[in-house]
Structures are given as structure tokens and as C-alpha cells.
Structure 1
Amino acid sequence: MLILNPEIDERQVPVALDKFLKVITTDGGTIENIDIWGRRRLAYEIQKKNEGIYAVVNFTATSATTAELDRQLNLNEQIMRTKVLRAEEAIAQVAAEKERAEAKAARKAAAPAKAAKA
């Protein structure tokens, strides 16, 4: 996942990403999917900015290639944040978040029932 500077024109995002993702393809990796979410409000301010352009890239590459990609992304001023996850870790995080959301919904549903009994 990448968060790009919001001052970039959104039409230039795929071009900027392709420049970085060449590291993967030149080392024999493959890019399965590029999902550009667009401009979103940040949970907290990063580099004095409240918005960022989110992009999620699914790819297959060696760990050395992934480390080089992460290094290049961190050096670029247009990239505000990066997060590289293995597919297993990402799936586990999504499952854990889903469980937390379901537990929270169950607690909210149980709270009015308890209040009515009291």
C-alpha cells in the first residue's frame, strides 16, 4: 500500500507507480493488480497534510526485490507512506479486523438489551 502526496494530479498516479514498479518486472517478478483508491482523508496528519492518494499494489517478487522497491519508494518525496505485507499477513489482518468489527457490533446490539432489563 502506498500513500502519495495529494498535490500530485490523480491522472499522473499510474505513470508514477509504473516507474517504481519496473523494479519488480526487471527482476522477474509479476504485478497482479494495481488498485488506485484515489484521494482519501488521512486518519492523522502526515507531513502537514490531511489527505493522500491511496494505491494498493498486489505483486509477486523475491524478498530482495521487495526490499529494493521499498527502499526506492521511501526515497521519493511524492510517496508519503508505504506498507509492504506478505499476502498471508494481509489476509490475517483483514480477518482480525473483521472479527473485531463483528465483536463491536455484537456489543452494541447487546447494550440496548441490557439497558432495557435494568
Structure 2
Amino acid sequence: MHNYELALVLSAKLDDESRAAKLEKAKGYITRYNGTIGNVDDWGKKKLAYEIEHEREGFYYFIPFEADPTAPAEIERHVRIMDDVLRYLIIRTDAE
């Protein structure tokens, strides 16, 4: 098991319920592949460094999790096709 972090930027056009549903869906993908989720860091609405899909703001979430080495590829495969996800990134946070 390794430690990872999923950085997720959701569209600022989403209402609170839709945004919470998207976040839960992303967390569901982590648990589906036997990952254990830590405390989700919600940064709220922030201005983007550059315009993405005609949007200048997005909601930032950082989700730390522990999973097998094969899980990040599978999680990324699902998050990539989610609607209203402007950007995502999974990084390994533990030292080798």
C-alpha cells in the first residue's frame, strides 16, 4: 500500500448538491479499488491560473488516500471522463 493524493478541480458553475455528488463519486472510485481515504482538504472556490473550458474559477479539493500501486491508474481512468472536472492529478506522497 502506498500513499497518494488526488487533486481535483471542479467547475465553478456547479451548485452545492452537484458539487458534493461529484466529490462523492470521485471518493467512490477510490474506495472501489480498495483505497482508504484520509481527510479531504476543501480549498473552496479559487481563481484558475488560466482559462479552462471558458471558466476562470473552480472548486479545489485534495483527497489523500492509501491504495495498492495499481489503483491510481484505474481511478484516473474513471475521473478523466467525469463531467465538470476541469483538472485532476494523482501523485504519490510517500517517500521511497
Q: What's the counterpart of residue 103 of structure 1?
A: none
The aligned amino acid for 1:29 is G
Q: What's the counterpart of residue 38 of structure 2?
A: 32
Looking at secondary structure, tell me which structure has more helix per residue.
1
Looking at secondary structure, tell me which structure has more strand per residue.
2
Distance 1:83 1:27 in 2: 17
Q: What's the counterpart of residue 6 of structure 1?
A: 12
Contact 1:2 1:56 in 2 (8 A): yes
Q: 1:46 to 1:5 in 2, by over 3 A?
A: same
The aligned amino acid for 1:75 is I
Paired residues, number:
89
Higher Rg of the two aligned structures? 1
Distance 2:80 2:70 in 1: 15
Q: 1:62 aligns with which of 65, 68, 78?
A: 68
CA RMSD of aligned residues (A): 1.6
Higher RCO structure (Cα 8 Å, ≥6 apart) = 2
Distance 1:34 1:28 in 2: 17
Provide structure 1 residue ranges, at least 5 long, that are not aligned to the other structure: 90-118
Provide structure 2 residue ranges, at least 5 long, that are not aligned to the other structure: 1-6
Moved over 2 A (4+): 10-15
Q: 1:53 to 1:80 in 2, by over 3 A?
A: same
Q: CA deviation at 1:6?
A: 0.7
Deviations 1:55-100 (A, max 9, x none): 11000112322111111111112101001111147xxxxxxxxxxx
Distance 1:72 1:27 in 2: 11
Contact 1:39 1:53 in 2 (8 A): yes
